[in-house]
Amino acid sequence: MLVILMNTQKPDDIANRIEILRDEIHAHNYRYHVLDAPTISDAEYDRLFQELKNLEAEHPEFQSLDSPTQRVGAAPKKEFPAVAHSIPMLSLDNAFSVDSAKDFDKRIRIRLKTEAFITYACEPKIDGLAVSLVYEQGRLISGVTRGDGVSGEQITENLRTISTIPLKLKPPFPDVLEVRGEVFMPKAGFKALNEKNALLGEKLFVNPRNAAAGSLRQLDSSITAKRPLSFFAYGIARMEGFSQRFSTHSENMQALKKWGFPVCAENRVVEGIEACLTYYEQLQAKREQLPFEIDGVVYKVDNIELQQQLGFVSRAPRWAIAHKFAAEEAFSELLGIEFQVGRTGTLTPVARLKPVFVGGATISNATLHNMDEIQRKDVRVGDTVVVRRAGDVIPEVASVVLEKRPSQTTHIAMPKHCPICHSDVIREKEEAAYRCMGGLFCAAQQKEAILHFSARRAMDIDGLGIKIVDQLVDKKIIQTVADLYTLSVEQLAGLERLGKKSAENLVDALAKSKETTFARFLFSLGIREVGEATAHNLANHFSDLQTLIKADELELQQITDIGPIVAAHIYYFFRQPHNLEVIQGLLKAGIHWQAPQSKSVSNSPLFGATFVLTGTLNALSREEAKEQLIALGAKISEAVSKKTSYVVVGDSPGSKLTKAQSLGVPILDQTQLLALLEHAKQAQSQ
C-alpha cells in the first residue's frame, strides 16, 4: 500500500508528507518524553515513525539532519541541568514480526560473512526509562536520563533514592564506570501507588512506565524516594582503569552483578535466531506473571568484537534489535455504554468503542467493571480512552485521556431498571455491584444460568452454545436448566442454524450428561461463590444431596474454604422453593451420580489432607490432578494457610509458593505429586 502510494505520489506531495510526519513526531516526542502525557499509543507512534523512515529511505533527497529519525526522543526539560552524555545513548530498532527478527539475523550474517549461528544475549525489554550512571572510584557521581540521546537531564539526587541502584560498588572495581540500564516501577508498586492516590483523590497514572517517568522527574527528591522504583542494568558504556577486559556482553552482565547491580534474572545466552524466537515465545507466555512490565525482548550479538565490527546506523546499533510484543494498550473513542446482565444478575457496564487493534486483536467492546470504577476514572461517553488487553484478560478501559476531552460529553448513570426484564436494579449493601432483582424471571440470567450449567466443567453438554440458548429462552421454549431435559429433536430442529443431525447430537449429549458426579452437579447449579473447588469439598463432605440441602450455616462453615459468606449463599440457595423445584426436575429427568465409596477413601493415606495447586502443571492437567486427589479423599483449597497439608508447584508458580515457604507448608513438585498419588492408590487398594 505504501509502495503504491509512493510510486503515484508527486515529489511535492512526498516532501509535504515528510514534513507533516516530522512535525507530528516531534510533537509526540515532546509530549511523551518531556510532559509524560502522550496522546497517541506506542503502536500508532511506531507506525508514524516507520512511515517516515520508509519515505526517507525511498527519497534520500529529502533527508535532513533535524528529522526525528536522526535523533532519539526530545529535548530535556528546563528544570534539571542538561548534561552531555560522554557516549551517546542510542535507541534500538524494532522488529514487529518473526520475519523481521529473522531479517535482522540475516543482515548480521551477511555483514559478518558467516553461515554459522550467531551467539545472542536475549533480554526482556523492560518498560521503563533509560538512565546512565557514572561511578568514579566506585562511587555514584552522576545519573542522567536519556533525553535526546546526546544530552539528558541530571537527576542524580532522584536516582540515589532508588534502593536497587548501588551508591558504592563492590571492589575490585574500575576507576571509571558508566552503566546503562532501565528505571521502572514494579507492577505491585504501581497498583499500590494508584490505589493510594485514588484514596487521596490525587492524579492516577496511566501505566507503570508513566508512573516511573513522573516519579523520576520530581524536582523534590523526597517525593521520588516514596515511589516504588527499581532498576536493571543492561550495558556498560565506559570502563576505565580496570585490569580485566570482557569479550562478551554476557560477561559484562556478570561483572555488573559482581559490582552490585541488579541484572534481570530472565536474561539468557542462546545460539542462533531460532533459539531467540523460542525465548520470545517463552517470555511472552510468562509476561503476565512477571513482577514488572515488559514490551518485548531484546536480542544482542553477545560478542563485543563482532558488535564493534557491525557498528551503528544513525540512532541504533546494528548488533541489537527489540522484538516487540503486540501493543497491549491503544487509544480509542468511547461511543456508548451498555449494561450486561450476568448469571447472578450483576449489571456490568460495557464500553462500546471505535474498533481498535490492541494486544493482537480488534477490540470494539471493553469492560468498565462497575460504577465505582467509572467514577474513579471519570469516564464519559465521547472521551478518548486507553484500552488495555493483556494476555487472556478481558479488554478493559484503563483510563481517560483528559487532555482530549471534547466540550460535549455524557455522564454515565446506572439504569434504574434492568435493560432485559425491566425489574428494579438495586445496589446491595457494601457491594460494588448493582443487581437486577428479576432473578430467574430475567431472560439474561436464565441464559447465563443455562450456559454455566452446560459448560464443559459443569454438566458438559456438548453442542449447546449461546446461539441455541438465546433462541430457546427468547422463544420461551425453556426457562430453567431442568427444561433442557424435556427438549425433543423436533423442537430443536425447528431452531435457526440447527439441522436435524445437530439436533439429534444435542439430544444425545443431554442424555449422556445425565450420568455425572456429585461435585459437577453442585458446581453446575451456579450457587453464588461456589466454584469447582468448593463444589468438590461439599461433595466430599456430604454423603448425599438431601443432607447438604438440610445443612445449616454453621455446619457448612466446618468445610475447608467455606466461610460465613459462602455458607450463607449455599444455605439461602437451598431455601428458595424455585431452586428446589429445579433440582427436583433435574433428578426426575434422570440425572444421577455414584455415591462416594467412603470406606475405600478412608483407607487412603491422603484422606482429609488439604492440597493447594499453583502454577502450570504439565505432568497431568490441573483438572486430572484435582480429580485424582479428591478420589483419594483429599480436599482442594484455593488459599494457602497453616492448615494446608501440601502445596503442589507447577511452572511459573504464583504467590502461593512464597506463602507456603513462609508458613513452612511442605511443597511438592509434579514428580513428587505423581509419586504420592501412586503410593496413595496402592495403599487404598490394599
Interface residues with ligand IVH (CB under 6 A) are 90-92, 123, 125-126, 130, 146, 182, 234-235, 298, 317, 320, 322
Whether 418 contacts 223, CB under 8 Å: no
Backbone angles phi, psi at 104, to 5 degrees: -60, -45
**Nearest residue to the partner ligand IVH, using Cβ:** 130
Q: Nearer to ligand IVH by C-beta: 317 or 608?
A: 317
CA distance 472 to 479: 8
Q: What does DSSP assign to residue 392?
A: T
- Whether the bond into 349 is cis, omega within 30 of 0: no
CA distance 279 to 646: 32
Task: Using DSSP, state whether 26 is helix, strand or coil.
Answer: helix
CA distance 313 to 236: 19
CA distance 352 to 366: 7
Q: Nearer to ligand IVH by C-beta: 235 or 633?
A: 235
What DSSP letter does each residue of 66-79 carry, written as one string?
Answer: TSGGGS-S-PPPSS
Nearest distance, CB of residue 230 and ligand IVH, angstroms: 13
- Helix locations, 141-226, DSSP H: 156-160, 187-200, 208-216, 221-225
Nearest distance, CB of residue 291 and ligand IVH, angstroms: 15
Task: Using DSSP, state whether 394 is helix, strand or coil.
Answer: coil
CA distance 636 to 648: 11
Whether 475 is catalytic is: no
Nearest distance, CB of residue 298 and ligand IVH, angstroms: 4
Hey, what amino acid is at 148? D
Whether 316 contacts 92, CB under 8 Å: yes
Q: Nearer to ligand IVH by C-beta: 317 or 382?
A: 317
Burial class (CB in 10 A: 0-12, 13-18, 19+), 577: exposed
Nearest distance, CB of residue 300 and ligand IVH, angstroms: 7
Nearest distance, CB of residue 49 and ligand IVH, angstroms: 11
What DSSP letter does each residue of 441-485 carry, written as one string?
Answer: GSHHHHHHHHHHHHSTTTT--TT--HHHHHHHHHTTS--SGGGGG
Q: Nearer to ligand IVH by C-beta: 266 or 396?
A: 266
Q: Nearer to ligand IVH by C-beta: 324 or 447?
A: 324
Nearest distance, CB of residue 179 and ligand IVH, angstroms: 12
> Which residue among 125, 324, 447, 656 is the active-site one?
125
Nearest distance, CB of residue 249 and ligand IVH, angstroms: 10
Q: How many CA atoms lie within 13 A of 16 on its CB side?
A: 5
Q: Nearer to ligand IVH by C-beta: 280 or 434?
A: 280
- Residues 6 or more apart whose Cβ sits within 8 Å of residue 597: none
Q: Nearer to ligand IVH by C-beta: 317 or 585?
A: 317
Give catalytic residues, as residue numbers. Answer: 125
